[in-house]
Structure formats: structure tokens, C-alpha cells
Amino acid sequence: MTETKYPQLRIVPTRFLNPETTETLLGKLYTIDGIRRLVLNGPNLPATVPYGPARGEINDNTNRRIIKVCGEDYLLHVQVGAILIEMETASVIPHVKAACDEVFADKFPYGITEGIYMRSNMTTTDYAKYGIVDDERILGMSDPKSKQRPVILQGTK
């Protein structure tokens, strides 16, 4: 892994998050100043069944839907199982923990660990997918199988 100068957190709930919980948590995290990047990890929820006897048919999973984050519509195409966050400084960590406590408190337990979870340098995959990029926030965040760029939310706080 490459070294990064920004602290990173990994939030892992004990179960997959439904879209409403994901939307609520992202709304609270978005209001926190000092968060640079955020990645939602989990299994893909494809629009069509990728294999088996129903291959090519519409996959009507209720967890694949549009959620609102900071006033923008975002297609949630993963079942969120972990959230990776990169922050400007470590002073943001208590605010992130408070937001998680507020959202998860009565529902289920979760864990937060500090470490290095996202790359901060351009990878070969980044270069192959995007070429030379000006916005360093997308570095190390590319999914080789995805056909879309990372979503960058730029609303006002």
C-alpha cells in the first residue's frame, strides 16, 4: 500500500445497510467539514441477472435504487457493507463516530478502525481508465470492472 498523509477510517456495520440507512448516514457525514473522500464498499447489485437460468432478465432488487445525497440523486448499485473515509485531519474522527452513533445506535453494532484503506497515488488502473487526471480525489478509487467514473459530490454544506 502507498503512504498517505491523510488519516483514514473504515466503518463496518454488523449487517448490510439498506438504502434508507445509507442515505441517512451519508447525509450526516456530508455535513462534517474535513472529509476528503468516501467510498461505499459492498457486493454489486447489477441491473440485470448476470448468470444462471435468468441471465439477462431484470434484477428487481429493492436495494438498487436512487438515494439523495446532499441534494443530488445517486444510484446506489452496491449493498453497502463498509464505508471508507479519508479526512483532512484526525480531529474529524470524533464527529464521524458521533454521526455513526446517531444513525446506528438503536439498530445494530458497528466497528470503526483507523488505518490505510485507499491509495493516494495514481495506479496503473487509474491511468488505463482515465488517463492523466487533474482531480486527485479520484486517484486509487477506480473499479476496473465499472463503466462509470467515481461520483464527486460538490454541493454546498
* 34 vs 127 pLDDT, higher one: 34
CB 29 within 8 A of CB 134: no
* pLDDT class of 124 with cuts at 50, 70, 90: confident
Return the pLDDT at 157.
46
CA distance 61 to 148: 20
Percent of the chain with pLDDT over 90: 50
Options 2.60.120, 1.10.1790, 3.30.70, 1.20.144; CATH for 8-118 is 3.30.70
Specify which residues 110 forms β-bridges with.
13
Burial class (CB in 10 A: 0-12, 13-18, 19+), 5: exposed
pLDDT digits (tens, 9 = 90+) for 18-68: 999 999 999 999 999 999 888 888 998 888 998 999 999 998 888 999 999
pLDDT at 1 over 50: no
pLDDT digits (tens, 9 = 90+) for 95-121: 999 999 999 988 899 999 999 888 777
